[in-house]
Amino acid sequence: MSTTIYSWQMTAPDADFQLAEEPFPVLEAHEALIQIAGCGVCHTDLSFWHYGVKTKKELPLTLGHEISGTVIAGPAEWVGKQVIIPAVLPCGECELCKKGRSNMCQKQLMPGNDFHGGFASHIKVPARFLCPVPDTLLAKYPLEKLSVIADAISTPYQVIRKSELEAGDLAIVIGVGGVGIYAALIARIFGAKVIALDIDDTKLEIAATNGIDATLNVKGLDIKTIKDQVREIAKGLGVSRYGWKIFEVSGTKQGQELGFNLITFTSTLSIVGFTLDRTEIRLSNLMAFDAKVIGTWGCKPELYPEVVDLIASGKLKIDDFVETFPLSTINEVFRNTLNHAYLKRSVLVPDFK
């Protein structure tokens, strides 16, 4: 058995990833070594690689935080288990962790940011918050595809829970790409009527095919026209004029400003996507509408089993939204992702010899 970790590392912004290798690390008692099955490509990775967001660990760095794999060394109770590695690994002991806000733990560690991540053959992580994958789920999906649970699915799951969405509510999802489509599907599972907004007809068609109640292509439309059309759609769906749950997942200035302008009486706007751009909004609208805006950072590990159960039960199907590529094609995949060439979440599968 190989005792070498192979990885593709970021050495500079926009530069090609470089192949690197190092020996297996020495494990502390609380750590596990995981053979990686797959690692998803997230917009956050693009933010580090292309958009100028700084990583906490100095370069060179192996990116990737959406990881599944098999534990091959570490605590005896974990060895041999197939697992999802949470994208945010908290300490479990601090004030925020004990208050149920472990995703905001200030001692948290994020693969591909604080330490070498998942675009590699193996990874060393704290074992405490690993999420085991049951055989019932592995019977439905290969382990590598389940890596998307670590962010693309768990992040919208947490924010939908935080939004206090109830059955019968109207959920408006802005941007139904890799994360947004899961936000729309999970909101539907929770019993909401869902409107998907995007500028890509193909993404909207995928949403409609998978049971989303209504879609609207907002490309080229001004905000007033969009608001008028959303109101008409909402009326046709028979939902309340009040309490809309709005989820901004596009990670764009335009999407965030649209989301804010869709706020109505007692609405909740959830910011899921990330952009460095600044928006122009009138905060007094929150007062006038008795509304609120909330954010979300990843997903606390305590919620991962609920996400796993959602997929294992068949309520949430992921086949149509994930495609795999050999990890050796990482440079091509990142460039194509930057150019919006893919409609599905890309998962890179180690192919080291």
pLDDT per residue, tens digit, the chain (353 aa), is: 689 999 999 999 999 999 999 999 999 999 999 999 999 999 999 999 999 999 999 999 999 999 999 999 999 999 999 999 999 999 999 999 999 999 999 999 999 999 999 999 999 999 999 999 999 999 999 999 999 999 999 999 999 999 999 999 999 999 998 899 999 999 999 999 999 999 999 999 999 999 999 999 999 999 999 999 999 999 999 999 999 999 999 999 999 999 999 999 999 999 999 888 999 999 999 999 999 999 999 999 999 999 999 999 999 999 889 999 999 999 999 999 999 899 899 999 999 97
Please state whether the peptide bond connecting residue 60 to the residue before it is cis, i.e. omega within 30 degrees of 0: yes
Chain centroid, CA 38 distance in Å: 15
Q: What is the pLDDT of residue 178?
A: 86
Residue written as token pair 């068609």: 205
Write the CA distances from 62 to 35, 118, 119, 274, 275, integer angstroms: 15, 7, 6, 21, 22
Angstrom distance (rounded) from CA 273 to CA 82: 29
Cα 187-189-192 angle, rounded to 5 deg: 50
Q: What is the pLDDT of residue 1?
A: 67
Sequence-separated (6 or more) residues with CB below 8 Å from residue 62: 7, 8, 9, 10, 20, 112, 116, 117, 118, 119, 120
On whether the CB atoms of residues 60 and 10 are closer than 8 A, the answer is yes
Could you tell me the strand order of the sheet in which 268-271 lies? 214-217, 193-198, 170-174, 245-248, 268-271, 292-295
For the record, the structure tokens of 204 come out as 């909207």
Beta-ladder partners of 214: 195
Q: Domains along the chain?
A: 4-151+299-349 (3.90.180.10), 155-295 (3.40.50.720)
Q: What is the pLDDT of residue 33?
A: 98
pTM over 0.75: yes
Dihedral pair phi/psi, residue 131, rounded to 5°: -110, 115
Angstrom distance (rounded) from CA 296 to CA 175: 16
Element (H, E) at 349: strand 345-349
On whether the CB atoms of residues 275 and 253 are closer than 8 A, the answer is yes
pLDDT digits (tens, 9 = 90+) for 99-155: 999 999 999 999 999 999 999 999 999 999 999 999 999 999 999 999 999 999 999
Write the CA distances from 72 to 29, 75, 330, integer angstroms: 14, 10, 25
Dihedral pair phi/psi, residue 117, rounded to 5°: -100, -145
